């Protein structure tokens, strides 16, 4: 049985785990905004942000390399920004020739590319920190109480609840197919890609129908308990002094990073 | 951040305002599915408060369909009164609090991320205030012996645990009638025993749709046999168990020993 393989929550008792999820969600969003707003080449600001993330990792009692390792998954995506090296105007560093074409890498282009890389990595690290220290149920609560659209939060909640139920169903279907994929000795079976495709297609259809029927039963179960179009939740969290302090300190740190970034650029023309 | 609650909820009617001589009164109920298939034909049942009634019959007899009518999820022709209140659109919010429907598959019933939220779902949607909701969740989980499970994720529970939580999700609404669809299906003997013991401690009027004839003999003094959407027989369990040929004609078996 898969045990929530997509859930990135790390059970723990660090300071970050105890914080109100609303504070964490808002600060993560602001943090990502701050990363985006750091101008190209403001290395001190990028470094300071990274130091902040490392410090939070420490507060969360997670291993030092934790966010760094996990954030590497976005590297392939940042490569899509590779072209900025060649299309940003500026002093030419080197020229690559490829058949009839030539590409000139510019100084400004390289700086822009590295900055995009840094923004991507830092932002993903922030998100990783959030999901590692906040359980999914808490995240949903935070979203609801931050007035995110109900339909969106509801969809997320049901996806989380039923993804594994659906996964189990898919595994059972696959086992049933394997159990009947017999072959007699000496008989060659000609089952081409088309046939396999047909079987797989039928299975996907089955899964879809089963989900549809389950959705209907879940809806009945909700109606039976008084559902009339709105989902209400209790807030199991209350803002403590710690939460407010962290919110202010976090917010001011991000502001400081922005100021530093501007100063950095002013001083090194 | 304050939480807004629905303002349009109806307070539960006082006991004294209701005719309480019958917990459930179904008269001449018929229902056809949208595809034209008849699911219920002229069903008439009267159940007194505190009775525990078994609803038996082969698959497709209409047992689950009947249960879905009790709190107005499906609406057929005929009349249903729950505690003297007619099941119709304007009464539905009240009726849904009065009839606790426990579905066969707890994965359908437990749709919230955590156990606490699932048990709180009913009371919250009845518009109760926060303290009352918490009290009721605590109380319902105590009744089913699962207090330590409040923060757990439903997906990780065993079948027996899920069934008991599913019952807690309706107990928190303080229902007068429990309508259970196949409560013992898919349980191992120990979980089944725990479930039976639990149901026997609950004071509510109970309607149990089941194939588990041992459970019927142990728990229900009255038995209703259904087949093809009709009521075939409605009598004391002990009397019906003597009519072996009737049971067998409708795909049922008398429990041995």
- Please state, in angstroms and rounded to a whole number, the distance separating the CA atoms of residues B180 and B195: 12
**Same structural domain, A77 and A112:** yes
Q: What is the pLDDT of residue B179?
A: 95
**Same structural domain, A127 and A215:** no
**Same structural domain, A140 and A203:** no
Mean of pLDDT over chain B: 88
* DSSP string of chain A, one letter each residue: ----TT-------SHHHHS-HHHHHHHHHHHHHHHHHSPTT-HHHHHHHHHHHHHHHHHTT--TTHHHHHHGGGHHHHGGGGGHHHHS-S-EEEEEEETTEEEEEEHHHHHHHHHHHHHHHHHHHHHHHHHHHS-HHHHHHHHHHTT--HHHHHHHHHHHHHHHHHHHHHHHHHHHHHHT----TT------HHHHHHHHHHHHHHHHHHHHHHHHHHHHHHHHTT--S-----------HHHHHHHHHHHHHHHHHHHHHHHHHHH--
- Tell me if A4 is assigned to some domain: no
**Same structural domain, A139 and A256:** yes
* Residue predicted with more confidence, A36 or A100: A36
Q: Is B121 an interface residue toward A (CB < 8 Å)? A: yes
* Residue for token pair 């007899």: B61
Q: Please give the helix or strand (H or E) that residue B130 lies within, else none.
A: helix B130-143
Q: What is the pLDDT of residue B19?
A: 52
**Same structural domain, A227 and A131:** no
Give the mean model confidence (pLDDT) for residues A226-250: 81
Q: What is the pLDDT of residue A32?
A: 95
Res. B127 pLDDT band, cuts 50 70 90: confident
Domains and CATH numbers, chain B: 22-249 (3.40.50.300)
Please compute, for residue B168, the number of CA atoms within 13 A of its CA located in the half-sphere on the CB side. Answer: 30
Which of B75, B108, B123, B170 is most worth mutating to test chain A (most A CB atoms within 10 A of its CB)? Answer: B108
Q: CA of A227: which chain B residue's CA is closest? A: B125
Across the interface, whether the CB atoms of B113 and A236 are under 8 A apart is answered: no
pLDDT digits (tens, 9 = 90+) for B178-237: 999 999 988 999 999 999 999 999 999 999 999 999 999 999 999 999 999 999 999 999
Q: What is the pLDDT of residue A69?
A: 86
Q: What is the pLDDT of residue B3?
A: 46
Q: Is B138 an interface residue toward A (CB < 8 Å)? A: no
Res. A6 pLDDT band, cuts 50 70 90: low
Give the mean model confidence (pLDDT) for residues A61-84: 86
- Tell me if A58 is assigned to some domain: yes
**Same structural domain, A164 and A39:** no
Q: What is the pLDDT of residue B9?
A: 46
List B55's β-bridge partners, or say none: B209, B224
Q: Which residues of B touch A232 (CB under 8 A)?
A: 3, 5-6, 124-125
Res. B1 pLDDT band, cuts 50 70 90: very low
**Same structural domain, A220 and A246:** no
Q: Write the DSSP symbol of residue B177.
A: E
List B29's β-bridge partners, or say none: B43
**Same structural domain, A156 and A226:** yes
Q: Which residues of A touch B156 (CB under 8 A)?
A: 3
Q: Is B235 an interface residue toward A (CB < 8 Å)? A: no
**Same structural domain, A134 and A87:** yes
Task: Print the domain residue range for A122.
Answer: 15-144+242-267
- Tell me if A101 is assigned to some domain: yes
CB pairs under 8 A between A and B: 92
Q: Which residues of A touch B155 (CB under 8 A)?
A: 4, 161, 164-165
How many domains does chain A divide into?
2
From the list A105, A112, A104, A135, the residue with the least C-alpha distance to A24 is A135
- Tell me if A204 is assigned to some domain: yes
pLDDT digits (tens, 9 = 90+) for A104-138: 888 888 999 999 999 999 999 999 999 888 888 88
Q: CA of B129: which chain A residue's CA is closest? A: A234
Q: What is the pLDDT of residue A250?
A: 92
**Same structural domain, A261 and A129:** yes
**Same structural domain, A126 and A49:** yes
- Tell me if A252 is assigned to some domain: yes
Q: Please give the helix or strand (H or E) that residue B126 lies within, else none.
A: none
Question: Could you count the other beta carbons within 10 Å of the beta carbon of residue A263?
Answer: 13
pLDDT digits (tens, 9 = 90+) for A179-204: 777 777 777 766 678 877 888 888 88
* Residue predicted with more confidence, A135 or B257: A135
**Same structural domain, A153 and A51:** no
Across the interface, whether the CB atoms of B108 and A214 are under 8 A apart is answered: yes
Residues 6+ positions from A237 with CB-CB distance below 8 Å: A20, A21, A22, A138, A141
- Percentage, residues of chain B above pLDDT 70: 92
Q: What is the pLDDT of residue A184?
A: 76
Q: Is B128 an interface residue toward A (CB < 8 Å)? A: no
- Percentage, residues of chain A above pLDDT 70: 94
- Tell me if A217 is assigned to some domain: yes
- Tell me if A185 is assigned to some domain: no
* Cα angle A128-A129-A131, degrees, rounded to a multiple of 5: 65
Q: What is the pLDDT of residue B41?
A: 93
């Amino acid at each position: 049985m898969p045990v929530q393989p997509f859930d990135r929550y790390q059970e723990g008792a660090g300071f970050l785990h105890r914080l109100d999820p609303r504070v964490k969600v808002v600060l993560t969003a602001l943090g990502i905004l701050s990363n985006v707003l750091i101008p190209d080449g403001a290395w001190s600001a990028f470094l300071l942000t990274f130091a902040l993330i490392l410090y939070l990792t420490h507060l969360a009692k997670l291993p030092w390399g934790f966010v760094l390792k996990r954030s590497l998954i976005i590297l392939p995506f940042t490569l899509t920004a590779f072209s900025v090296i060649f299309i940003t105007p500026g002093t030419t560093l080197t020229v690559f020739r490829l058949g009839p074409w030539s590409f000139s890498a510019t100084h400004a282009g390289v700086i822009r590319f590295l900055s995009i890389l840094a923004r991507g990595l830092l932002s993903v690290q922030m998100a990783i920190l959030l999901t590692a220290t906040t359980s999914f149920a808490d995240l949903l609560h935070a979203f609801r109480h931050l007035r995110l659209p109900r339909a969106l939060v509801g969809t997320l909640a049901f996806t989380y609840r039923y993804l594994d139920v659906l996964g189990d169903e898919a595994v059972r279907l696959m086992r049933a197919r394997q159990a009947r994929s017999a072959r007699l000795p000496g008989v060659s079976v000609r089952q081409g890609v088309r046939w396999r495709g047909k079987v797989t297609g039928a299975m996907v259809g089955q899964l879809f129908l089963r989900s549809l029927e389950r959705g209907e039963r879940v809806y009945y179960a909700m109606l039976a308990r008084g559902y009339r179009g709105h989902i209400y939740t209790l807030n199991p969290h209350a803002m403590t002094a710690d939460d407010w302090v962290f919110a202010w300190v976090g917010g001011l740190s991000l502001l400081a990073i922005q100021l530093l970034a501007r100063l950095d650029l002013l001083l090194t023309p | 951040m304050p939480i807004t609650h629905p303002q349009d909820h109806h307070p539960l009617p006082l006991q004294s305002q209701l005719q309480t001589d019958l917990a459930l009164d179904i008269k001449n109920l018929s229902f056809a599915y949208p595809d034209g298939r008849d699911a219920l034909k002229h069903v008439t049942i009267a159940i007194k408060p505190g009775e525990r009634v078994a609803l038996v019959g082969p698959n497709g007899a209409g047992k689950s369909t009947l249960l879905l009518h009790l709190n107005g999820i499906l609406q057929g022709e005929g009349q249903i009164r729950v505690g003297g209140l007619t099941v119709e659109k304007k009464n539905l919010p009240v009726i849904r609090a009065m009839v606790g429907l426990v579905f066969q598959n707890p994965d359908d019933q437990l749709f919230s991320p955590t156990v606490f939220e699932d048990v709180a779902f009913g009371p919250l949607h009845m518009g109760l205030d926060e303290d009352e909701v918490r009290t009721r969740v605590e109380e319902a989980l105590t009744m089913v012996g699962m207090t330590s499970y409040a923060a757990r994720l439903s997906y990780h529970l065993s079948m027996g645990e899920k069934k008991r939580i599913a019952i807690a999700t309706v107990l928190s609404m303080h229902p007068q009638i429990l309508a259970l669809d196949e409560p013992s299906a898919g349980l191992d003997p120990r979980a089944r025993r725990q479930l039976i013991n639990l149901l026997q401690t609950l004071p509510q009027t109970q309607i149990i749709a089941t194939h588990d004839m041992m459970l019927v003999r142990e728990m229900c003094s009255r038995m209703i046999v259904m087949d093809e959407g009709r009521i075939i027989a409605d009598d004391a369990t002990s009397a019906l168990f003597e009519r072996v040929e009737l049971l067998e004609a409708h795909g049922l078996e008398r429990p041995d020993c």
